[in-house]
Amino acid sequence: MKVLVVGANGQIGKHLVSMIQASENLEAKAMIRKPEQASFFENVGAETVVVDLEDDTTPILKAVKGADAVVFTAGSGPHTGKDKTLLIDLDGAVKTIKATEIANVKRFIMISSFDTTRKAIQAASSSFAPYVVAKHYADEKLRDTNLDYTIIHPGRLTNDKGIGKVTAASTVERDTIPREDVASVILACL
Amino acid sequence: MKVLVVGANGQIGKHLVSMIQASENLEAKAMIRKPEQASFFENVGAETVVVDLEDDTTPILKAVKGADAVVFTAGSGPHTGKDKTLLIDLDGAVKTIKATEIANVKRFIMISSFDTTRKAIQAASSSFAPYVVAKHYADEKLRDTNLDYTIIHPGRLTNDKGIGKVTAASTVERDTIPREDVASVILACL
């Protein structure tokens, strides 16, 4: 089973690609933005494809084709402007969802934010709210598809070593979670 | 017929409320963000309601109730950050659309951007693209409703005096248009 990891060069993405490559039945195709990001993935034997999520759907569609599942773990990150929140976290996600539908790939895993409900938007600080809005609409777009999707809402992400145990349920108290454990959860969903 | 003008204190909004008040059969309810914006509207005899579009749907719903039509002409403007593009142009619009549905008001007029297609997003400059993305998703949300809606895609807006003539069609060459003439078009749609 081939898994396209969108946002492979992110912190969750790198864990995930490594885990996929270490697994028996899965192989990763790492979607990255810049060619110079390829070496990490080549070192774990993963295929790479260079696509900028700000491009139109065509190169994304090419990347999706031939995959059996798509994981969206791309994010503009906290250090870019809110323009990138609109262009990557919302529009990049929706373009990836659309490309997945067009390519007739059924399985889609979205790494969302902890809570993207209307209530969470209103409760968020003014600096965080735009991000929650972007993730809210991206999640909603995914729910409106016929894809076989899973939306993962992790708690506060840390770079601690994964402990291999998570509390997963439709609603949980917010807690921290190592990115490595988020990658384990994604792997278990595949 | 009572028309709720969302974004009444904007440049199109002020023209529109004045025109509505000068018309025979219409009356405006000006939705504004700050109480100190009320005097302009009181001077033309219009009702005012103070609502912040960043609030949740409840106060917006209260404002919509009792109206026969809703005009969304709010915009975060070019001088605010892209956070406001997400919170006002996208999320504020969608909350207004939802409130209109809940209030069982049928008529909705959206003042959009000249071109909010996928092609326009990709063709836009990096500074303009986030705005087009926000308007794209807001327009799409409106199209997904059962409201009796009109989406107006004006050309480049100017503050010139209106000439009372516009070229309107499903697609036109991009040209300039005085904001006063956009207000006339909205009035004609009511």
DSSP string computed for A133-190: HHHHHHHHHHHTS-SEEEEE---EEE-SPP-S----SSS----EEEHHHHHHHHHHH-
Show residues of chain B in contact with A85, CB under 8 Å: 82, 86
Q: Which helix (H) or strand (E) holds B83?
A: helix B82-84
Please check the confidence at residue B111 and state whether its pLDDT lies above 80. Answer: yes
In 3D space, the residue among B143, B145, B141, B115 whose CA is nearest the CA of residue B128 turns out to be B115
Show residues of chain B in contact with A122, CB under 8 Å: 55-56
Query: Is A126 in Cβ contact with B86 (below 8 Å)?
Result: no
In 3D space, the residue among A72, A146, A163, A76 whose CA is nearest the CA of residue A112 turns out to be A72
Nearest CA in chain B to A117: B56
Dist CA A69 CA B34 (whole Å): 49
Please check the confidence at residue B77 and state whether its pLDDT lies above 90. Answer: no
Mean of the pLDDT values across residues B160-187?
92
Query: Is B83 in Cβ contact with A129 (below 8 Å)?
Result: yes
Distance (Å) from the C-alpha of residue B117 to the closest C-alpha of chain A?
A: 12
Q: Is B137 on the interface with A (CB under 8 A)?
A: yes
CA torsion B82-B86-B87-B91 (nearest 10°) is 160
- Residues whose CB is less than 8 angstroms from the CB of residue B111 and which lie 6 or more positions away in sequence, other chains included: B7, B12, B71, B72, B73, B75, B152, B154, B182, B186
**pLDDT at position B187:** 96
3-state secondary structure of B47: strand
Q: Is B157 on the interface with A (CB under 8 A)?
A: no
Q: What is the pLDDT along chain A (190 residues), one digit of tens a residue?
A: 999 999 999 999 999 999 999 999 999 999 999 999 999 999 999 999 999 999 999 999 999 999 999 999 999 877 888 889 999 999 999 999 999 999 999 999 999 999 999 999 999 998 899 999 999 999 999 999 999 999 999 999 999 999 988 988 888 888 999 999 999 999 999 9
Please check the confidence at residue B138 and state whether its pLDDT lies above 90. Answer: yes
Of the given ranges (A170-179, B3-12, B26-35), which has the lowest mean pLDDT? A170-179
- Neighbour tally for B145: CB within 10 Å: 13
**pLDDT at position A144:** 95
Query: Is B133 in Cβ contact with A90 (below 8 Å)?
Result: yes
User: Which positions 49-78 of A are in contact with B (Cβ < 8 Å)?
Assistant: 54-57
In 3D space, the residue among B162, B85, B158, B72 whose CA is nearest the CA of residue B111 turns out to be B72
Show residues of chain A in contact with B56, CB under 8 Å: 118, 122
Of B82, B87, B129, the CB nearest to A129: B87
Q: Is A85 on the interface with B (CB under 8 A)?
A: yes
Show residues of chain B in contact with A55, CB under 8 Å: 122
A122-150 in b/e burial notation, b at 16+ Cβ within 10 A? Answer: bebeeeebbbbbbbbbbbebbeeeebebb
Of B86, B91, B121, the CB nearest to A82: B86
Q: Is B83 on the interface with A (CB under 8 A)?
A: yes
Of A56, A81, A82, the CB nearest to B122: A56
Q: How far apart are the first and last CA of chain B?
A: 9
Percent of chain B with pLDDT over 90: 88
Query: Is A137 in Cβ contact with B137 (below 8 Å)?
Result: yes
Of A81, A118, A130, the CB nearest to B56: A118
Of B90, B122, B126, the CB nearest to A133: B90
Distance (Å) from the C-alpha of residue A133 to the closest C-alpha of chain B?
A: 7
Q: Is A83 on the interface with B (CB under 8 A)?
A: yes
Q: List, by residue number, the catalytic residues of A.
A: 131
Q: Find the catalytic residue in B41, B108, B131, B149.
A: B131
Query: Is B127 in Cβ contact with A90 (below 8 Å)?
Result: no
pLDDT digits (tens, 9 = 90+) for A45-93: 999 999 999 999 999 999 999 999 999 999 987 788 888 999 999 999 9
Q: Is A81 on the interface with B (CB under 8 A)?
A: yes
Question: Do the beta carbons of residue B108 and residue B64 sit within 8 Å?
Answer: no
